[in-house]
Amino acid sequence: MANVGVHGKSVELHVEDLWIRNINISMGLVNANTTPMLLKLVVQKKVPAEKFATHHFRFDQFIEAYDTFARAAETKALKVVITA
């Protein structure tokens, strides 16, 4: 799973619950090495990217879209989609 975005709030990871599930967590800033693989999975519908889009705007609403994403904690914006 890839979570692409900017996070402005701390989260609590319960390692005591995760270790037994053999989960690896890797973090980094803009690791473009895996972007082609991620896009391929989205195209193949193996990653439901549309479920991550919480807000939709037209291009002429760009300022409103930016404001919504800037206040993501308040607006509950996960991903903002802007269409022409």
Query: Taking the model in full, what pTM does it have?
Result: 0.55
Say whether pLDDT at 6 is over 70: no
Report CA-CA distances (Å) from 42 to 28, 61, 64. Answer: 21, 26, 27
How does pLDDT run across 54-80, given as a tens digit for each residue? 999 999 999 999 999 999 889 999 889
Say whether pLDDT at 31 is over 90: no
Amino acid 28: pLDDT: 73
| Mean pLDDT (whole number) for 5-9 | 68
| Mean pLDDT (whole number) for 14-38 | 81
